[in-house]
Amino acid sequence: MNIQSMKLIFLGPPGAGKGTISKMAAERLGVPQISTGDMFRTAVKEKTELGLRVQAILAAGGLVPDELTIAIIRERLSWPDVRQSYILDGFPRTIPQAEALAAFSSPDAAVDFEVRDDLILFRLTGRRVCRACGAIYHAVTKPPKVDSICDLCGGELYTRNDDREETVKARLRAYHEETEPLIGYYAGKGRLLTIDGSPDAETVYTTFISEIGRFLKK
C-alpha cells in the first residue's frame, strides 16, 4: 500500500489488539505508532515526575487525568516525524481528549477493534511484553521461540502488573464508561471504521488494510 498520509486513532478495549496491529503497521508501512500507555510506563520505569504522578493510577487500572494526557500528546504531535502520518494507540480515551485532539490535529479515521469481554480476559492474562523493545507476545496465541525471551531483541519478557484479573476488570469498567462513547462520537463525524478484532492478528491486519483506504485522502 502506497500512502501519502494516514492519521489514525486506534480505539477498542484493552486487549483488543491495538498495540499488535499498530506495531505491524509501523513495521510494514513506516507509520509512527504513538502509545500513551507505553509513554506512561516508560515514565514510571524511569521514575520521572510524570511517572511518579501516574504510577498509582496505572496500577489501579484507572485513567490518567485528561489535562496531563492531552499535554503529552499535544507535545508529541508537534514532532516532525508525525506531520504526514501517525497511529495513536490508546488516545483519545475520553470525549474531552477527543475534543482537545480535534483542536490541534485532524485524524482521518478512528478504527474500532471489536472484541468481547471474555476474550479480552484471556488475551490480557496471557500477554507478555518485552522489557527492552516493547514487542507484544501471548503465552498461547503468540509465544516467543525461547521461553521468556524476546524473538526480536533477546530482551526479557514480563507480565504487566495491570494485566492481573482484578485490574483488568477495573480497566474494562473505565473502557465502557469513558472510552466506548467515542465510537458514537467518531461515527457521527463519518470517521468510524469498525473491524472485528477476534480473528488471528494477520487476518485483522489484512482486513484493516483493505478497509482503511476509503478514509484516506488520495
Specify the stretch interacting with ligand ADP by CB under 6 A; choose among 131-139, 147-155, 180-188, 207-215. Answer: 131-139
130 counts as binding Zn ion under rule CB under 5 A:
yes
Q: Within 13 Å of residue 144, how many CA atoms lie on the same side as its CB? A: 20
63 counts as binding ligand ADP under rule CB under 6 A:
yes
CA 10 to CA 192: how far, in whole Å? 10
Collapsed DSSP state (helix, strand, coil) of residue 22:
helix
Burial tier of 56 (Cβ tally within 10 Å: 0-12, 13-18, 19+): exposed
134 sits in the region (left: phi over 0; alpha: psi -120 to 50; else beta) called left
8 counts as binding ligand ADP under rule CB under 6 A:
no
CB 156 within 8 Å of CB 133: no
CA 121 to CA 174: how far, in whole Å? 15
Q: Which of 7, 37, 195, 212 binds ligand ADP (CB under 6 A)?
A: 37
Locus of grid cell 479480552: 120
Is 18 one of the annotated active-site residues of the chain?
A: yes
Q: Which of 9, 11, 20, 86 binds ligand ADP (CB under 6 A)?
A: 20
132 counts as binding Zn ion under rule CB under 5 A:
yes
Is 127 one of the annotated active-site residues of the chain?
A: yes
Exactly one of 7, 41, 127, 128 is catalytic; which is it?
127
99 counts as binding ligand ADP under rule CB under 6 A:
no
CA 134 to CA 183: how far, in whole Å? 27
Q: Which is nearer to ligand ADP, 7 or 138 (CB)?
A: 138
For ligand ADP, which residue has the nearest CB? 37
- Other C-beta atoms closer than 10 Å to the C-beta of 145 total 7
All cell numbers assigned to 213: 483506504
For residue 179, the partner it binds in Zn ion, ligand ADP, none, with Cβ less than 5 to 8 A by kind, is none
Question: Closest separation between CB of residue 12 and Zn ion, Å?
Answer: 24
The CA-to-CA distance between both ends of the chain, in Å, stands at 12
Binding site for Zn ion (CB under 5 A): 130, 132-133, 135, 150, 152-153, 155
| Residues near ligand ADP (CB under 6 A) | 12, 14-20, 36-37, 40, 57-58, 61-64, 69, 90-93, 97, 123, 126-127, 136-138, 141-142, 162, 171, 200-201, 204
Show which residues are catalytic: 18, 93, 127, 160, 171
